[in-house]
Structure 1
Amino acid sequence: MTSAVRPRARAQYRSDLDGLRGVAIALVVCFHVWMGRVSGGVDVFLVLSGFFFTGMLLRRVETHEAVGYLHTARRTARRLLPALAVVLTAVAITTVIVRPYTQWGDIAAQTVASALYYQNWHLANAQLDYAAADPSVSPLQHLWSMSVQGQFYVGIVIAVGLWAWWSRRRQLTDSTRRTTLFGVLLVIGAVSLWYAIEGAQQHQSWTYYDTAARVWELLAGAALAVAAPWIKLPKILRTVFALAGIVMVFACGLLIDGAAHFPGAAALFPVASAVFLITSGMNVDAERQPWVNRLLATKAFTELGAIAYALYLAHWPILIFVIAERGTASAGFGGGLLIIGISLVVAWLIQRLVETPLRRKQVTDATTEARTPRYRRSVGIVVGVAGAAVLISTIGWQVVLKVNSAEPPAALDNTLYPGGQALTDGLPVPSATMRPSVFEGGADAPSPTYDGCITPDREVRTCIYGDADATRTIALVGGSHSEHWLPALQTLADEHSFRIVTYLKEGCPLVLVDEPSYAEAPFPECHEWTTEVLDRLTETRPDWIFTISTRFRPHEDGDFVPPEWFPIFSELQDRDLNVLALRDTPRLRRAGVFYRAVDCLAHHGNSDSCGIDRSVALDPVDPGAELAASYPNVFPFDLSDGICLAERCRVVEGNVLVYRDEHHLTASYARSLAPALGRHISEITHWW
């Protein structure tokens, strides 16, 4: 039987872990500002969060035999919500002032997702890679980790509460209770780690945000909290752990590209560093801890740890808003110092004026105005009202957008809206309002986007468009840059009676390697999909395959044929399949940063100023032309003259919006290029 419940002496407070938290977030900030990559600091922070929160629950159970759901909820809310409300309010106001109104809807959606702790799922469902800072990135992107943490808190409170109830009913000893909970956390953590490793190899952009793939990092800290009474290390091992841990914390971001590999096996590195530093100072007096832990416990580091949460919340939106206003891809060294300085001041103010007074029930310093009951009530009211106002207004804006959702425009009259024919056929361009509008542009997508005929995962989906009973077939194959030509092909299919069969996957041109040179992370799912598609094409034998032959250079001007694509054309030749190989569409970018045409137009731009120099977007000669010499089954052609003038690729031609985002054609503009596309196809196939 378990002994009667008695209050225990408060466990020694780990000031060194406050310092570690400060170091972890400082690394996150510095790497975001100057390195443009993930430092591993968030992973360290997650381990610490799991350790601290679970330890708090265990102490509550030891003294009260229950977790106290309402008490825990109130305490956690006081810790997390005020600073979050302040930052979300500031972001919402700044967005309205400085960002184009075409971005308000997405940032409003992310504000709601962040406030309700599902931002990670919002980003995952939007298929957004965790990108380095640039003006096109959301100022709330970083709050995915807060959502994962919040979801973990709910789960672990329920788990520990059920464990406490079950243990009490079974009258288990303290040792058996801890062993049971430790075993359960270990098993769940192991399953989560396995899932993360598998996911990182298959679909990194989704797995990065997936709570199930992240929870093992928090459970590593939770398991340490459960096992704490059992951990007693000899001095030499504590010293080794401390040294190894701090070196690994600082080295992680330099050695590993976390955005491309976390939370898979590579994340064991930052997680292990946190585990080493937690255990190195465990169950030993502060003065007997290794010198690394004692250093972390000094005031400089603990003060940084005190503002770590507010610093994490504030630094990213400040960085994004600054570089967006400057129109640069990075802040630079001097700009970065300024951003970090501003972020530290803002974080200190949030911590001093908002977090601290709202977390403490009692007045601790009668001479400090910020801690008087009147000030505390006033701050609570202001923060609560501001947070509620932002949440209500952003939800309201989402409702307004939903009720007045943009619809793709119907087929446009080419006498008013000649679109690409103004360039290819010299049609006159009368005065008319641009269509689709900046609000319609994003919705003006090809049919597969709405039909579910472009797959987001490993599944091979095929759909039929055009004349389903025709004897002639074109297979439209590849990613979204193949897909956006479907409206033009559909127009031609209606005129000339042929069938279009689609084999489309998001972000996936045909490729037979797991990690192409142009990719930022492994994507074996694309390789697997390609292999099956090639087999399907060999079996069904369409008359022609329509696909893209070139791609933009990631870090230079112009376009090229990626070396990984040559084996694809060889494979198609070996299978005796004929290919219509179209040069890819120019992409909108400035100084390497992609931008949406509608945002630029909404932000006081015009067709020309929002465009891009042709020499930046395209090589002088179609790089795909060389394919014809090596592959007699491949017929390259180029429609760039239907999109760009001789010197400039503009975003509106013939009164029609060219791009629905950074690099996809609107369906309306693609449709306007059907005559020019038809001439090329006719010349190659002799079908009409």
Structure 2
Amino acid sequence: MLTLDPPRKASRTDSGSPPSAVMGTRTSGFYRHDLDGLRGIAIALVAVFHVWFGRVSGGVDVFLALSGFFFGGRLLRASLSSTTSLAPLPEVKRLVRRLLPALVVVLAASAVLTILVQPETRWEAFADQSLASLGYYQNWELASTAADYLRAGEAVSPLQHIWSMSVQGQFYIAFLVLIFAFAYLFRRLLGRHLRVALIVLLSALTIASFVYAIIAHNADQATAYYNSFARAWELLLGALAGALVPFVRCPMWLRTVVSAVALAAIVSCGFLIDGVKEFPGPWALVPVGATILFILSAANRAADPHLTRADGRMPLPNRWLASAPFVSLGAMAYSLYLWHWPLLIFWLAYSGHSRANFLEGAAVLLISGVLAWLTTKYVEEPLRLHAPVAQKPAVAIPLRIRLRRPTIVLGSIVTLLGVALTATSFTWREHMTIQRANGKELSGLSSRDYPGARALVNHARVPKLPMRPTVLEATDDLPQSTTDKCIGDFDNVDVITCTYGDVSAKRTIALAGGSHAEHWLTALDLLGRMHDFKVVTYLKMGCPLTTEQNPLVMGDNRPYPKCRVWNEKVMPRLIADHPDYVFTTSTRPWNIKDGDVMPGTYVGIWKAFADAGIPVLAMRDTPWLVRDGEPFFPADCLASGGDAISCGIKRSKVLSDHNPTLDFVERFPLLKPLDMSEAVCRDDYCRAVEGNVLIYHDSHHFTTTYMRTMTNELGRQVAAVTGWW
């Protein structure tokens, strides 16, 4: 994945040294082939762990540290030279020339595969992430997705891996501005002390970034994983290593030990550390620190005229990595990083498998390797390399001749691909805007034509009409409280309240908990206006009312400490407000077997309400749609050619024969069970569509359109419990 100063063929001048045009891997007078080899090791770890193990190997962190070393070290050397220009534009052009061509080619190929392989329900997400990848803010796009509970179960993006390139691109520009601006302002003033000042500045920024990474990791690891400043310390450490290279002095035996330990740590990192959960926190020091040690292990070696190859002056592990196979692999690391992930994701989408077996994984890696070699040879290198000055003719070449040069033609093709990809992404987003506008009519659908739940509960006749919402409308068929921002997001621990139904009524139902309580608002709002009660919301994404001390996000099991904080705030507030009833969910799916369960951590909630004399409308939770341990979207399935049955699930998989809440009614008389399962599932099967209405807008939230069709049945059950009508 490392893109700056990738290795060229090991050509030599007459003196046996590599050409001076090669930057970044040249330290103390000789070319660092071992760092090219380390790049090869890193990309091999990334690809192998992605394809076969489904884990983070630490290889990306190796890349980040190497990027900081190459790019940061080069800029530091430029800033310390009084004869070097500090104009940023040439550096920016150089970045664009090195980073964008291969990226555009892979994005264009991925766009074609998305249309051929993925259902159209995923095209908008791909369009958004294509633009984010081209604009180098993909990490922030993914961070916002990770924090969005409504998209928590979304299929993995074929462009997810580009987050690290976005982090690098942002770092390159920020570091360029910082170092050149600092040198411009203080180079004359500080003179020979400029190096020390830069080291102090970078050290302060590294410490600040590392401390921030720990804080962000503890607060919300899923979001921190993609945070640029939480990752900056990994690149800054590499830059600091570049600044310290001239001062390395140690015997060969110590260099060998350090090199061997560092390489062993890098290779074993993916097996020993779960980077998905632990990075970018303190455990990321293992791959990053090991990379820095490996860099320094062979740094500043004195020239030896008796050796014809500079690599011979390095420790044994470094010489191993300087061998041709590793160097060749490192040469195409960037392209291989770009290709392997989308090919893996598209194969899984096409095959329907949750993971690649050995042969499938080997085929993905082989094809990725071939495409990476072709991309490196015919896209990266021609557009990256300049002709030597000595070869440039003295006379001006006519424009019509220059336009026929292969590099000009290739550059034009890549540019056109980028423009076409951008235009297509914006066009599809505009199409989705129109679809959302069309979706506003869903609230006015005829109950005769679209009976929805009434087809199950009241055996209403179902005419043959197109399903609504459509697969493209479903994602945005959300309750009004979501639009009104009346549900706290993952980072917010404040208690947010909004009022619906008959806002002037004296009777109150408090709707409290997570989004699985929230989606009942549509029906409760209608009932409140019909039967003279108001609905006050106390909601937070992914956070039911619970006494759990270490809650997890249902669906991906990431730690959710802010759910506990919110519960500690909302329960006293609910008890103080003392509504006539609290409406909340009372069950959850089993994580270890079929069916549903009432978690033990809910019992303390029932006791608190019982002690306060507040009755609870305890709604059995929504059936979650899961296949092979992963949530699936009925809209995706339908868009891929499935039907209401094939895109549904067996009832026994998601609902137990007996509502678990009923087991606690005798102990808590104020607990009033509600169960709408018969309005969602048939006796043996939960279909994706009932009464011409799509039931789910993702894998576990009802569409607002289907919720409207459940209003009468919910009203019947609430009336039986409350006696209000």
Q: TM-score, normalised by structure 1?
A: 0.92
- Over 3 Å counting, the alpha-carbon distance change for 1:224 and 1:562 in structure 2 is farther
Residue type of the alignment partner of 2:595? G
Q: Whole-Å Cα distance in 1 between the matches of residues 154 and 287 of structure 2?
A: 29
Q: Which residue of 1 aligns with 2:465?
A: 432
Q: Whole-Å Cα distance in 1 between the matches of residues 532 and 227 of structure 2?
A: 45
- Over 3 Å counting, the alpha-carbon distance change for 1:527 and 1:351 in structure 2 is same
Q: Which residue of 1 aligns with 2:16?
A: none
Q: Which residue of 2 aligns with 1:416?
A: 449
Larger deviation, residues 418-427 vs 626-635: 626-635
Residue type of the alignment partner of 1:663? H
Q: Which residue of 1 aligns with 2:219?
A: 202
Q: Which residue of 1 aligns with 2:258?
A: 241
| Deviation (angstroms), 1:281 | 1.9
Q: Which residue of 1 aligns with 2:474?
A: 441
**Identical residues among aligned pairs (%):** 44
Give the conservation status (yes or no) of the 8 Å contact 2:469–2:477.
yes
Give the one of 277, 290, 293 matched to 1:260: 277
Give the conservation status (yes or no) of the 8 Å contact 2:66–2:291.
yes
Q: Whole-Å Cα distance in 2 between the matches of residues 455 and 402 of structure 1?
A: 25
Q: Whole-Å Cα distance in 2 between the matches of residues 11 and 559 of structure 1?
A: 67
Cα displacement string for residues 388-419 of structure 1 (whole angstroms, at most 9, x for unaligned residues): 21122212332343355443322432122111
Answer yes or no: is 1:149 the counterpart of 2:168: yes
| Deviation (angstroms), 1:373 | 8.9
- Over 3 Å counting, the alpha-carbon distance change for 1:402 and 1:169 in structure 2 is farther
Q: TM-score, normalised by structure 2?
A: 0.88
Q: Whole-Å Cα distance in 1 between the matches of residues 609 and 267 of structure 2?
A: 48
Q: Which residue of 1 aligns with 2:200?
A: 183
| Deviation (angstroms), 1:618 | 2.2
Q: Whole-Å Cα distance in 1 between the matches of residues 693 and 473 of structure 2?
A: 11
Structure 1, unaligned runs of 5 or more: 1-6, 367-371
Residue type of the alignment partner of 2:127? A
Answer yes or no: is 1:502 the counterpart of 2:537: yes
Cα displacement string for residues 445-491 of structure 1 (whole angstroms, at most 9, x for unaligned residues): 00111001111122221111112222222111111111111101112
Cα displacement string for residues 571-607 of structure 1 (whole angstroms, at most 9, x for unaligned residues): 4445544322212112223222322222222222222
Give the conservation status (yes or no) of the 8 Å contact 1:65–1:164.
no
Count residues with an aligned counterpart.
Answer: 672
- Over 3 Å counting, the alpha-carbon distance change for 1:576 and 1:257 in structure 2 is farther
Give the conservation status (yes or no) of the 8 Å contact 1:204–1:523.
no
Look up the SS of the partner of 2:191 in the other structure. Answer: coil
Q: Which residue of 1 aligns with 2:312?
A: 287
| Deviation (angstroms), 1:563 | 4.2
Answer yes or no: is 1:359 the counterpart of 2:359: no
Look up the SS of the partner of 1:526 in the other structure. Answer: helix
Matches within 5 A, 1:440-459: 440-456=473-489, 457=491, 458-459=493-494
Look up the SS of the partner of 1:410 in the other structure. Answer: helix
Answer yes or no: is 1:401 the counterpart of 2:423: no
Give the conservation status (yes or no) of the 8 Å contact 1:66–1:164.
no
Look up the SS of the partner of 2:183 in the other structure. Answer: helix
Q: Which residue of 1 aligns with 2:406?
A: 375
Look up the SS of the partner of 2:31 in the other structure. Answer: coil
Residue type of the alignment partner of 2:465? A
Residue type of the alignment partner of 2:328? E
Cα displacement string for residues 6-56 of structure 1 (whole angstroms, at most 9, x for unaligned residues): x99975332212211221221111111111121221111111111111112
Answer yes or no: is 1:322 the counterpart of 2:322: no
Matches within 5 A, 1:278-677: 278-284=295-301, 286-362=311-387, 374-402=405-433, 405-406=436-437, 407-408=439-440, 409-456=442-489, 457=491, 458-511=493-546, 512-516=548-552, 520-554=557-591, 556-677=593-714
Give the conservation status (yes or no) of the 8 Å contact 2:553–2:560.
no
Structure 2, unaligned runs of 5 or more: 1-22, 303-310, 392-402
Q: Whole-Å Cα distance in 1 between the matches of residues 705 and 137 of structure 2?
A: 35
| Deviation (angstroms), 1:570 | 4.1
Cα displacement string for residues 104-132 of structure 1 (whole angstroms, at most 9, x for unaligned residues): 111111101101101111112223699xx
Q: Whole-Å Cα distance in 1 between the matches of residues 210 and 537 of structure 2?
A: 36
Q: Whole-Å Cα distance in 2 between the matches of residues 186 and 265 of structure 1?
A: 17
Look up the SS of the partner of 1:422 in the other structure. Answer: helix
Look up the SS of the partner of 1:545 in the other structure. Answer: strand
Q: Which residue of 2 aligns with 1:19?
A: 37
Q: Whole-Å Cα distance in 1 between the matches of residues 238 and 39 of structure 2?
A: 13
Give the conservation status (yes or no) of the 8 Å contact 1:135–1:323.
no
| Deviation (angstroms), 1:270 | 2.0
Q: Which residue of 1 aligns with 2:10?
A: none
Q: Whole-Å Cα distance in 1 between the matches of residues 213 and 669 of structure 2?
A: 44
Residue type of the alignment partner of 1:622? N
Q: Which residue of 2 aligns with 1:85?
A: 104
Larger deviation, residues 354-363 vs 16-25: 354-363
Q: Whole-Å Cα distance in 2 between the matches of residues 607 and 178 of structure 1?
A: 68
Larger deviation, residues 108-117 vs 17-26: 17-26
Give the one of 28, 51, 54 matched to 2:46: 28
| Deviation (angstroms), 1:556 | 4.1
Q: Whole-Å Cα distance in 2 between the matches of residues 313 and 621 of structure 1?
A: 50
Give the conservation status (yes or no) of the 8 Å contact 1:555–1:592.
no
Q: Whole-Å Cα distance in 2 between the matches of residues 382 and 460 of structure 1?
A: 54
- Over 3 Å counting, the alpha-carbon distance change for 1:426 and 1:381 in structure 2 is same
| Deviation (angstroms), 1:249 | 1.2
Residue type of the alignment partner of 1:531? E
Look up the SS of the partner of 2:499 in the other structure. Answer: strand
Cα displacement string for residues 307-358 of structure 1 (whole angstroms, at most 9, x for unaligned residues): 1111111111000000101111111222111111111111111112211121
Q: Whole-Å Cα distance in 2 between the matches of residues 517 and 532 of structure 1?
A: 19
- Over 3 Å counting, the alpha-carbon distance change for 1:76 and 1:573 in structure 2 is same
- Over 3 Å counting, the alpha-carbon distance change for 1:568 and 1:221 in structure 2 is farther
- Over 3 Å counting, the alpha-carbon distance change for 1:453 and 1:135 in structure 2 is closer
Q: Whole-Å Cα distance in 1 between the matches of residues 609 and 49 of structure 2?
A: 43
Larger deviation, residues 224-233 vs 321-330: 224-233
Look up the SS of the partner of 1:522 in the other structure. Answer: coil
Give the conservation status (yes or no) of the 8 Å contact 1:644–1:650.
yes
Look up the SS of the partner of 2:495 in the other structure. Answer: coil
| Deviation (angstroms), 1:431 | 2.6
Look up the SS of the partner of 1:362 in the other structure. Answer: coil
- Over 3 Å counting, the alpha-carbon distance change for 1:526 and 1:233 in structure 2 is farther
Residue type of the alignment partner of 1:218? L
Give the one of 149, 158, 172 matched to 2:191: 172
- Over 3 Å counting, the alpha-carbon distance change for 1:572 and 1:316 in structure 2 is farther
Q: Whole-Å Cα distance in 2 between the matches of residues 24 and 630 of structure 1?
A: 58
